[in-house]
Amino acid sequence: MIAIIAILIGLLLSAVQKVREAASRARCTNNVRQIGLAVHNFESTNGRVPPAVGNFNRLGNPFTGGPTNNPDGNAGTIFFYLLPYLEQVNLYQMAAGNSMNLTGQVVSGFVCPSDSSASAADPGFAACTMLGPSVGRDGYGATSYLANVMAFDPRGGAPLTLAMPDGTSNTVCFAEHLQDCCGWGSNTPEWALNMAVQFPNVRDGQSNPIFGGANAFNSTGLSNTGYFGSNGGGSANFTNPVAASVSALPTNAVALQVGSTVWKCDTRVTSSAHPGVMVVGLGDASVRLVSGSLSAATWMNACTPNDGNVLGSDW
């Protein structure tokens, strides 16, 4: 009888966990959908999509190789520029034109409920220790989502259709990433931390809330890690955010991680805490659950907005 009760309790706990995860994934999906809609509203207002990162108007941006032209002349990340379109006007104004003024500000819509890394700590490794719930190691609010630098080119904004000539429904604009990722390397993506202002010479800054680009590949065009995509060990190249060709991918290339945890997370790829799937936002503001078995070639084609390639059958 005791054994039967134990089995029943185990089944019940498993069912409760599945229900909780389903609810958390639904909230996460809605977060990504709202961010995607904010991009469309931004574009309708400004005539172009926001840049992944930007410096103040009339100041040179080391990431772009020239002056920037951002809304209101403000400096920030794409998540900062989207605040007014996410019912966060007060927070946007609080920044006084510079997202770097928003230390410690956590935005619930930028955090996935399934992401358990919000308060991760390692007493022996400060780089993997959050400073507070959903506050990254640099003191800024963390994010569970990264923006695709190839879709939001910091070298100059364009309308949606021009920014994503392969089609907005075929282009990944946002993907998940644990708030604290320390399985390979270490990074804590922070939505307000603008490396264009803070560390202009660190173009693959590990707290940048971005992914994608040519730095995921070495000088020969081949991935030196077998990975494509994150903002850590192989990150966005702001000088020329165009990925190498799919034909250059090595056979062991990894697209993304699912069911990830702090100490299993790989900084070189986008990562999801959801079992089996990752929530991604497309350019048309729709949301898709991408399988963890997705091939690296299909993922790369989906993230590159202008390669003209047809997405694979595993999409």
DSSP label at 30? Answer: H
The answer to whether the beta carbons of residues 212 and 230 sit under 8 Å apart is no
Give bridge partners of residue 210 from the DSSP assignment. 147
d(CA 200, CA 186): 20
pLDDT in tens, 53-73: 776 555 555 555 555 556 667
Q: What is the mean pLDDT of residues 287-310?
A: 89
The answer to whether the beta carbons of residues 106 and 141 sit under 8 Å apart is yes
d(CA 187, CA 181): 5
d(CA 65, CA 305): 21
Confidence (pTM):
0.83
DSSP label at 100? Answer: G
Per the listing, tokens 């995509």 go with 229
Identify the weakest region by mean pLDDT among 37-51, 170-184, 209-223, 280-294.
209-223
DSSP label at 148? Answer: E
pLDDT in tens, 233-246: 333 333 333 344 55
> H/E element holding 37?
helix 2-46
pLDDT of residue 82 exceeding 70, the answer is yes
The answer to whether the beta carbons of residues 304 and 228 sit under 8 Å apart is no
pLDDT of residue 269 exceeding 60, the answer is yes
Q: What is the mean pLDDT of residues 35-55?
A: 90
d(CA 312, CA 193): 35
Show me where the domains of the chain are located.
26-303
